[in-house]
Amino acid sequence: MKTSISHLPESKQHELQRVTQLIVETVAPEKIILFGSYANGTWVEDRYTEGHITYEYISDYDLMVVTKAGEKRRDYEITDQIKNRLRFRVPVNVVTHDIEYVNRKLSEGQYFFTDIIKEGIILYDTGNMAFAVPKELSKEERKTIAQKDFDNWYFSAKEFLIDAKNAFQRRGFKNSIFYLHQSAERIYNTILLVFTGYKPKTHNLDRLRSLSKAFSPELYLIFPSNTKKEEYLFSLLERGYIDARYNNDFKISETELSVLIDRVNRLLHITAKICKQQIEGI
């Protein structure tokens, strides 16, 4: 695997060194690998203003943290520990799995992991455990898998969006926002599966949105998080999974729900476009 990040600006090299140090101090991993745009040199930092609103798109640092064999902590617990330590201007996405899981997926040809091994940059390695030899899938095999995942998850996302719209028409706003959350979750999973073959075990929309970010700035900026109002709107969508069902004090207005339905509808259309392009290009 590659080991140098010398293609990055010095400031980013120092930042990644600090990120690596904090992760090692926090969870004592087996390996840390940089993948995605900062590994392949395609990262973006873009800021522009429309009217009185400033939009900012900054590529995330994407890191796979490989824990030791027999790790007792759950992956999400380790990820949360890491995220709680990292406070940088550039957002940090962390994918965490133990070495046995990663090696099993490499042996199966799971191309999210095989691509990371092929294109990623090792930032930290204890040297105690080696990666398995990756199984290479043919382009035809990858295309078949991606198309199957798209057909399954995109159809499910469309169905939940229809349910959200129907519940909205009945003024069942709590049911509507729950269905809308489910639609958004499936939209992000569609993108991740088509582009990487990987679906994390999480219902956290912010995490899914961050992991999908690299594949479409247009998609990410539907929920730009550049104002308190935008942050609140996205938080309502996130809370649709639990609070809308179990919290009697949860409230959402007709206007807020209408805006969110429109946003998720736009997510769906963009997803169809970029996923079809990706499948055709495999």
Closest C-alpha to 41, from 120, 159, 145: 120
Numbers of helices and strands, H then E, in the chain: 12, 6
Torsion angle in degrees (nearest 10) through CA of 62, 66, 72, 74: 20
CB 121 within 8 A of CB 3: yes
Q: Which neighbouring-strand residues pair with 57?
A: 46
Kindly report the pTM of this predicted structure.
0.90
172: phi then psi, degrees, rounded to nearest 5: -90, 75
User: C-alpha distances in angstroms, 56 versus 47, 90, 208, 236?
Assistant: 4, 11, 19, 22
Q: According to the model, what pLDDT value does residue 86 have? A: 85
CA 211 to CA 208: how far, in whole Å? 5
Burial class (CB in 10 A: 0-12, 13-18, 19+), 172: middle
> Within a 10 A sphere around the Cβ of 193, how many other Cβ atoms?
21
How close are the terminal C-alpha atoms of the chain, in Å? Answer: 23
Q: According to the model, what pLDDT value does residue 17 have? A: 96
Q: According to the model, what pLDDT value does residue 48 have? A: 65
Q: According to the model, what pLDDT value does residue 91 have? A: 87
Q: According to the model, what pLDDT value does residue 90 have? A: 81
Burial class (CB in 10 A: 0-12, 13-18, 19+), 116: buried
Strand-pair category, 61-67 with 92-98 = parallel
Q: According to the model, what pLDDT value does residue 24 have? A: 96
Helix axes 254-281, 139-169, angle to 10 degrees: 160
CA 56 to CA 64: how far, in whole Å? 25
CA 14 to CA 135: how far, in whole Å? 34
CB 82 within 8 A of CB 94: yes
Q: According to the model, what pLDDT value does residue 52 have? A: 64
What is the full per-residue pLDDT of the chain (282 aa) written as tens digits? Answer: 899 999 999 999 999 999 999 999 999 999 999 999 999 999 988 876 766 666 678 899 999 999 999 898 889 899 989 988 887 778 899 999 999 999 999 999 999 999 999 999 999 999 999 999 999 999 999 999 999 999 999 999 999 999 999 999 999 999 999 999 999 999 999 999 999 999 998 999 999 999 999 999 889 889 988 889 999 999 999 999 999 999 999 999 999 999 999 999 999 999 999 999 999 999
Closest C-alpha to 241, from 205, 211, 213: 205
Q: According to the model, what pLDDT value does residue 50 have? A: 66
CA 16 to CA 268: how far, in whole Å? 34
User: C-alpha distances in angstroms, 217 versus 45, 48, 61, 211, 270?
Assistant: 11, 13, 15, 12, 11
